[in-house]
Structure 1
Amino acid sequence: MRRSTVKWTVAAAVSALVLSGCASKEERAGASAQAGGAGWSAGSDTIKIGLIAPMTGPYSVLGILQENSIRVEMDRINQAGGVGGAKLELVIRDSALDPGKAVQAANELVGDGQVRMVVGPSLSAFYNAAKAIYEQNRKINCQPGVGTGDFSVLKYGFRSQDPNDIGVKKMMHYLHGQGVKSIGLVYEADDTGKAIDGYITASAKEYGITYLGYQQTRPDDQSHRPYVDKLKDAGAILVSSNASGAKTMAAADEAGYKGVMAGTSGLQNVTFLDAAGDLAIGSVFSAGNVQFNIRDHSTWKPGYKAHVETIVSKYGVVEGPKSGAKMPKGTAIAADCVTAFAAAAENAKSIDPDKLAGAMTALDIPDSATPSGNAIKPADHEFYHVDDIHIYRWDKDAEGWFITDVTPKS
């Protein structure tokens, strides 16, 4: 195998975005579940949805991308009549990547009776500090930036991020099909790295892959060569999704490593490609539907295509200054939170939190009818499941970077 192979840096810690033409019966069912408000009343002219995200500082791109996608989906729903006749309105609180501010914002938004759902705060540690506030105050919340933790134990919390455990599981399935017999992990010594270590330990055995261990990196490492040398016989090395992972790839190239360089959903983002450069050619990553860098747009799922084209038209793209790689200036998994809220309210004909929570768990929106292109089936409070996860491979030619879907067929 050839070795020469936005995730926003913060997203690494997470882990890390108007149907047209003829629709099938399934698609029409999904679309009608999202349409607005006929036959019942929400009891007010406005329903507020809160967003807690870093809107300033070095990681403000995360909050901006979430805001853009949420606004695009809100506009679509409002143009269709709103929710129970009420228009959706976005209320934003800047967490500034400060856990204290995130908790303060959660307390503020749960105290606002017009706020019927809160999106965020992103990052597992921040959400862990806020989730009890939501539960105690019966506030529906949706999390597109939290990769770890058990949402099935919550009543009002739902996750629209692909959990890290299923991403690792899908990657093990792929590697097994490629004949890979062993894998190692090079990752930061943080909660995400430790969680991924546990996920590999559990799933590698299922696929007959030997786990050669977890090499914990340090922020002050000048080189990752010592870590790679300890894993030189591994058939695959799973790396971090930020500049640390790029450093691992550089060390593997220096060592002449010939195995597979792999990662989770953060490898989709242009900041990773800016850091890794051509070393990312041939690398593979697990993620939910991310078709933006698949050049054949006819393969894009209808809801995803409509959402992303609107994002690009309205807000543009993020382009890596070094790599030239592009991604839409929005994250559709945040928009899925709004899609699910509207569909649940329409089905329950209510915005009561208990009725909403019950209706959310009963949703079954097909992947053709969602902004992300992933099916929304949150019976266990998880929007997405292992069948929604793909394996993508990065490649580059004279026209620039592109991805190929190499997901195993079964």
Structure 2
Amino acid sequence: MTVTKGRKLVALAGAALLLAACASKEERAGVEQATSAAGWSAGMPVVKVGLIGPMTGALAVAGISMENSVRVEIDRLNAEGGVGGAKLDLVVRDTALDPAKAVQAANEFAGDNSVGLVIGPALSAFYNAAKPILENGKKVNCQPMVATGDFSTAKYGYRAQDPVSLDVQKIIEHLKAEGVGSIGVVYEGDDAGKGTAAEVEKQAKAAGLTFAGFEHTRTDDQSHRAYVENLADAGAIWISNSAGGAKTMAAAAETGYKGLIVGGSGARNISFVEAAGDAADGALFSATYYPYPGKESRDTWKPGYRKHIEEIEKRFGKNTGPKTGAESPKAAEIAADCVLAYVKAADQAKSVDPDKVVTALDSIEISDQETPSGNSISPDKHEFFALDDIHVYQWKKDADGWHTVEVGK
């Protein structure tokens, strides 16, 4: 090697080192800037949020609504700095109503260190199958569409939905006040159906109401007429939160059922009104905060809820029933609550370490004025919501069309 060539190589090496040092300095400055904005560092550029739900199939509307709300909330939080300087990134996996796919997605997320929060799998049976994987993988997970089961034994799992026990309590209290003396259940014979029927029977008997029976439906049922006829003398029939609930409402209309149709928060879906038509007028459902569509001015809505819903409408529009004109937002606000609670807990813990995050989640307090759902979040035994967050609403039809009214205030 000549002296000239040697000098050139030394110069090139020096330039490369200088560029590397400058780049490193710039990268460090970027991290410092992100950290100072949030007050702490997540130690990574991106924290993934894994969403597992039915994006196709009969319940696709539920999965898409969750995705819409989670995206809106992630975008809002990223605009405010993300979590510990890291950007939140949504990763969606479709179960297509196949439990095996839910388990596969849970395994994928459990093995990915960049996933900080898992939302779902939606539906009780799917969550039950995935729960051991999420617990063993130490994945903080939040369940906005799991109404049955006990979360008090979970370490990393939280329920962000009104549990069936609270829904039933609210409805039973209302039925008793109205002088209704009996209630039956028409529901799928799965974990959710069995859990709901057991809860209705227990609380009805405790309140002095007669339990008229549990009619198990099948996914391939063309009609629920026979089930409704078997409960014709019941003062009320509790319907499924899933697609089968719409068939029960339609059957009640066909048979001229004279009692009340009642249910949990799934009955706020306009598919129930579409299926039953005018027979849905007067149907009751217990749910977390839900003034939509309502007849009151939006000025009366809680600010976090209103901001979230109006952004959903702006980006995704509304669901509108082609037969009835009934409207609902293309949103699942309680899924957005999961993201907000996770970021608040991580900020409180100043860490995305799952053990530190769940410790913070156990003591988090978020006002109902701030949450996308309009409900306060104060986890007790890993339940986001309490009895005070549950309301009884009624579908009503008048000259202005379909709307919901809160009853029993």
Asked if the contact 2:142–2:157 (Cα under 8 Å) also holds between the matched residues in 1, the reply is yes
Q: Deviations 1:309-337 (Å, cap 9, x if unpaired)? A: 11101111111222221111121011000
Check conservation: 1:37, 1:346, Cα contact below 8 A. no
Q: Deviations over 1:292-322 (max 9, x none)?
A: 1112123311111110011101111111222
Cα gap change, 1:110 to 1:221, in 2 (>3 Å): closer
- Relative distance call for 1:170 and 1:70 in structure 2 (3 A) is same
Matched residues in 1 for 2:224 and 2:62: separation? 27
Check 1:42–1:185 CA distance in 2 against 1; reply closer, same or farther (3 A cut): same
Q: Please name the residue that 1:6 is paired with.
A: none
- The match for 1:205 is 205
1:307 to 1:221, Cα distance in 2 relative to 1, 3 A: closer
Q: Output the TM-score relative to the length of structure 1.
A: 0.86
Distance 2:221 2:342 in 1: 44
Cα distance, 1:270 vs structure 2:
1.4
Q: Is the 8 Å Cα contact of residues 148 and 196 (structure 2) preserved in structure 1?
A: no
Matched-pair identity in %: 56
2:249/2:275 contact within 8 Å kept: no
Tell me which residue corresponds to 1:24. Answer: none
Q: CA deviation at 1:224?
A: 4.2
Distance in structure 2 (CA, Å) of the matches to 1:114 and 1:343: 18
Distance 1:100 1:80 in 2: 37
Unaligned residue ranges in structure 1 (runs of 5+): 1-35
Q: Equivalent residue for 2:358?
A: 357
Equivalence for 1:90? 90
Q: 1:248 to 1:301 in 2, by over 3 A?
A: same
**How far off its partner does 1:155 sit?**
0.3
Deviation at residue 217 of structure 1 after TM alignment: 3.3
Distance, in Å, in 2 between the alignment partners of 1:250 and 1:310 is 33
Aligned to 2:136: 136
Tell me, yes or no, if structure 1 residue 339 matches structure 2 residue 340: yes
Matched residue SS, 2:155: coil
Residues 334 and 44 of structure 1, relative CA distance in 2, 3 Å threshold: same
> Is residue 314 of structure 1 aligned with residue 333 of structure 2?
no
TM-score (norm 2): 0.86
Residue equivalent to 1:148: 148
1:104-131, CA deviations, whole angstroms, 9 ceiling, x for partnerless residues? 1111112111111111111111111111
Match of 2:260 in 1: 260
Is the 8 Å Cα contact of residues 250 and 275 (structure 2) preserved in structure 1?
no
SS for the counterpart of 2:62 is helix
Which stretches in structure 2 are left out of the alignment for 5+ residues? Answer: 1-35
Aligned length: 373
The worse-fitting range, judged by mean Cα deviation, of 243-252 and 60-69 is 243-252
- The match for 1:234 is 234
SS, match of residue 187 in structure 1: strand
Structure 1 residue identity aligned to 2:231: L
State the secondary structure of the residue aligned to 1:323.
coil
Shift of 1:205: 2.5
Higher gyration radius (CA): 2
Written as runs of structure 1 = structure 2, the 5 A alignment for 1:91-240 is: 91-219=91-219, 224-240=224-240
Equivalent in the alignment of 1:42: 42
CA distance in 1, matches of 2:121, 2:331: 17
The structure-2 alpha-carbon separation of the partners of 1:115 and 1:176, relative to structure 1 and needing over 3 Å to count, comes to same
**Aligned AA (1:269):** N
Stretches of 4+ aligned residues off by more than 6 angstroms: none
Q: 1:188 to 1:349 in 2, by over 3 A?
A: same
Looking at structure 2, the residues matched to 311 and 290 of structure 1 have their Cα atoms a distance apart, in angstroms, of 15
User: What code does the residue aligned with 1:175 have?
Assistant: L
Please give the secondary structure, in 1, of the residue aligned with 2:152: helix
Match of 1:271 in 2: 271
**Secondary structure at the residue paired with 2:171?**
helix
1:178 to partner: Cα distance: 1.2
Say if 1:37 and 1:58 are closer, same or farther in 2 by CA, change over 3 A. farther
User: Which position in structure 1 is the counterpart of 2:327?
Assistant: 326
Q: State the shift of 1:239 in Å.
A: 2.2
CA RMSD of aligned residues (A): 2.0
Q: 1:37–1:83: 8 Å Cα contact kept in structure 2?
A: no
Farther off after superposition, 332-341 or 197-206: 197-206
* Deviation of the 1:139 alpha carbon: 0.9
1:61 equivalent in structure 2: 61
AA of the residue aligned to 1:293: P
The Cα shift of 1:132 comes to 0.8
Instruction: Tell me the residue number matched to 1:79.
Output: 79
* 2:369 is the alignment partner of 1:368: yes
Question: How big is the shift at 1:228?
Answer: 3.5
Task: Judge which range, 295-304 or 233-242, deviates more.
Answer: 233-242
Alpha-carbon distance in 1 for matches of 2:96, 2:252? 35
1:56-83 deviation line (CA, Å, top 9, x unaligned): 3443322221111111111111111221
How far apart are the structure 2 equivalents of 1:94 and 1:223? 28
After TM superposition, give the deviation of residue 394 of structure 1 in Å. Answer: 0.5
Following the alignment from structure 1 to structure 2, what is the Cα–Cα distance between the partners of residues 226 and 57?
Answer: 26
Q: 1:305 to 1:346 in 2, by over 3 A?
A: same
| SS of the residue 1:152 aligns to | coil
Residue 164 of structure 1 and its aligned partner are, at CA, apart by: 1.5
Q: Say which structure, 1 or 2, has more relative contact order (CA 8 Å, 6+ apart).
A: 1
Q: SS in structure 2 opposite 1:106?
A: helix
Q: Aligned partners of 2:220, 2:38: CA distance in 1, in Å? A: 58
Shift in Å, 1:251:
4.3
